[in-house]
Amino acid sequence: MDDVAAWFLALYKTTGIKLTIFYDGYDRNRFLEGLVTTVKLSAYCLVGSLVLGALVAMLQGARTAAVRRTASAYVELFRNTPPLVQLYFFYFALGPLLPKVDGAPLLGSFGWAVVSLTLLETAFAAEIYRAGIEAVPKEMVEAAASLGFSRMQVYRQVVFPLALRASLPAMTNNLVNLVKTTTLAYAIAVPELVYMSAQIWSEQVNVPEMMIVLLVCYVAMVGAINQLMQWLEARLRVPGFGQ
């Protein structure tokens, strides 16, 4: 660790390439904190959107027209408006309406980012599940129903497991998009990776270096997600489907 720090310090002294995050403890901690916040933000939104997305997809296939339409309206609304404006709407417009607990707002900028991005991703996840559900052969649903499965049982034990597998590739894309979208939280001062990097580059005046570190970080995260999802796809594969 010390060798790495020494090497980057030497790099700065000889070439002027200033990567403070490798040898300055304060900057390194800030940067890592930002990375952790980004990962946390992504993870919360991912879990939230997977659960809510399944719910919304189910509502979109409900028997009552009003329920179906409301679910669809929600999906269309969030898919067809700018995510940044949604975030501002939640943070600046709805934020002040929340009651305060001990003088502090109930939800801080991180909390609102989670809410806003989860609702956005839920809309995308719902569409993906829906496509996955449509990919389940009708005959299979009929067969399950004829075996006496209830509507709920059919959904949980037949449709959902197959739909999940059919939607995995699209889910990978969506997850990548989610990680990229968390950068928006910068706009409401959530201390995530971009925000922390911006602080570092404005203090150390090393914009080009930090930019490259930032881009490499995101490309690496996306690469890791792709690998993980490929593994998951291979793991969950059911014989007899796909190629």
Partner 1 sequence: MSAGRPSFAAPPREGNGLLSAQTGAALAAIFVASVAVAQIQAPLAKPSVLELLAKWTPLLATGFVFNLLISFFAMAVGTVAGLLLGFARISLLRPVSGVSWVVVQFFRNSPWLVLLFFVMYLLPFQFRVGDMTIPFPDWIKATLGLALPIMANVAEIVRGAVQSIPTAQWDAARSLAFSRRQTLWKIILPQCVKRMLPPWMNWYAILTMATTLASIVGVSEVMTITLRITNAEGRTDLLIPIYSYVLLWFFLYCYPISRWTRRLEARYA
Q: List residues near partner 1 by CB under 8 A.
A: 58, 60-61, 68-70, 72-74, 76-77, 79-86, 88-89, 92-94, 96, 130, 133-134, 136, 138, 141-142, 145, 151, 154-155, 159, 176, 179-184, 186-187, 194, 198, 207-208, 211, 214-215, 218-219, 222-223
Give CA 210 to chain center in angstroms. 23
Tell the smallest beta-carbon distance from residue 109 to partner 1 (Å). 14
**Pick 6 or 81: Cβ nearer partner 1:** 81
Instruction: Report the residue number, 100 or 138, with the smaller CB distance to partner 1.
Output: 138
In this structure, the number of other CB atoms found within 10 A of the CB of residue 191 comes to: 18
Minimum separation from the CB atom of position 4 to partner 1 (A): 24
What's the min distance (Å) between Cβ of 130 and partner 1? 6
Q: Which is nearer to partner 1, 2 or 154 (CB)?
A: 154
Question: Smallest gap, in angstroms, from Cβ of residue 142 to partner 1?
Answer: 7
Per-residue tokens: 35: 């990375």
C-alpha to C-alpha distance for 100 and 198, rounded to whole angstroms: 30
Q: Which residues contact 61 (CB under 8 A, 6 or more apart)?
A: 68, 130, 133
**Helix/strand/coil for 17:** coil
CA distance 194 to 211: 9
What CA–CA distance (Å, rounded) separates 175 from 155?
24
Q: Under DSSP, is residue 82 helix (H, G, I), strand (E, B) or coil?
A: coil
Q: How far is CA 154 from the centre of its chain?
A: 29
Residue whose CB is less far from partner 1, 183 or 204: 183
Q: Cβ 216 to partner 1, closest distance in Å? A: 9
Give 47 or 215: the residue with its C-beta nearer to partner 1.
215
